Amino acid sequence: MARSKVTVVGAGNVGATCAHWIATRELADVVLIDIVEGLAKGKALDLAEAAPVMKYDLKIVGGNNYEETADSDVVIITAGVPRKKDPVTGQFPSRDELVKTNQKIVGEVARQVAKYSPNAVIIVVSNPLDAMCHVVLHESGFPPERVVGQAGALDTARYKAFLAEALGVSVRDIHGIVLGGHGDEMVPLPRHTSVAGIPVRELIEEDKLQAIIERTRKGGGEIVSLIGVSAWYAPAAGAVEMAEAIIRDQKRVIPSAVYLTGQYGYNGLFVGVPAVLGAKGVERVIEMELNDEEKAMLDKSANAVRSVVEVLGY
């Protein structure tokens, strides 16, 4: 069987870490692309040079030429500019300015990807995530099942890590799911969280559980306040988990930003919901029964997406 091929666009912190973990899992050959040619080429070369020690046996190349990416099975898009102070004015860009800047970058990337890998599944990581999913859908011309955003995979991973630590049990035995978007719009579902099937509320006091939910909501900010830039290990882990589900046709149930066509009552909008990921991309959306409080949180999340999508002007 031919080896799969993954292109990672953006060779910064998240992109390079995706390439690293794809290699260590021997998931696929990797092409790393960045507008800064030397950065992608150099990081790919460094990873290839680690192969004899780490024992992965893959082709890893980098550069800024999309011809190299031809016929990729999966493309992970991490390209973009982060939200940082303008060195001249000392001001942060407004949300709308940032959306417009990343729309240009991600839009161009999506067109190139569609040209060279017309059958790929695209995993979007660039922020603001849900809006960038709309950009990729629009500019690639791909069917919605082949454009999916990484959001819930990361939030769920953080939630599980905090719970495992608090309960003193293996991360492997925590089952749970976080829907919606990042931050305040996140929808953690403690009713659907268990430790090896035991409802989590039987094992932890409510105030401790609420503190973990709050920490999960602010998980991104906690890292920024420690390092000064946004996280990369856990975001890349989330994206690689999704890529693996697609490449290995695992039918994994992973909360993902998916283009909804009526599910949960939303139409024409990317919202973080449980999705079955397999070779075709988003193969199915699972419609959970949500109570009024959970639905209200998901509505808030969908409204936030709607307001950013309006900025795109499509």
Tell me the catalytic residues: 182
Q: Which of 29, 269, 247 is nearest to 129 (CA)?
A: 269
Q: Which of 144, 143, 75, 82 is nearest to 110 (CA)?
A: 75
Q: According to DSSP H, which parts of 117-180 are helical?
A: 129-140, 152-167
Residue 62's CB: how many other CB atoms inside 10 A? 28
65 interacts with ligand APR by CB under 6 A: no
80 by DSSP, 3-state: which? coil
Cβ distance 3 to 29 under 8 Å? yes
Nearer to ligand APR, 149 or 190 (CB): 149
Nearest-approach distance from CB 23 to ligand APR, in angstroms: 17
Which of 235, 274, 278, 281 binds ligand APR (CB under 6 A)? It is 235
Cβ distance 173 to 151 under 8 Å? no
Nearer to ligand APR, 33 or 213 (CB): 33
Nearest-approach distance from CB 288 to ligand APR, in angstroms: 26
Which of 13, 72, 103, 193 binds ligand APR (CB under 6 A)? It is 13
Which range binds ligand APR by CB under 6 A, 50-58, 173-181, 228-236, 297-305?
Answer: 228-236
Nearer to ligand APR, 80 or 190 (CB): 80
Residue 295's CB: how many other CB atoms inside 10 A? 14
Residues 82-121 that bind ligand APR (CB under 6 A): 82, 105, 108-109
Which of 66, 116, 162, 232 binds ligand APR (CB under 6 A)? It is 232
Distance (Å) of CA 112 to CA 71, 120, 173, 298: 12, 12, 41, 33
Nearer to ligand APR, 204 or 309 (CB): 309
Residues that bind ligand APR (CB under 6 A): 9-15, 33-36, 39, 78-80, 82, 105, 108-109, 125-127, 230, 232, 235
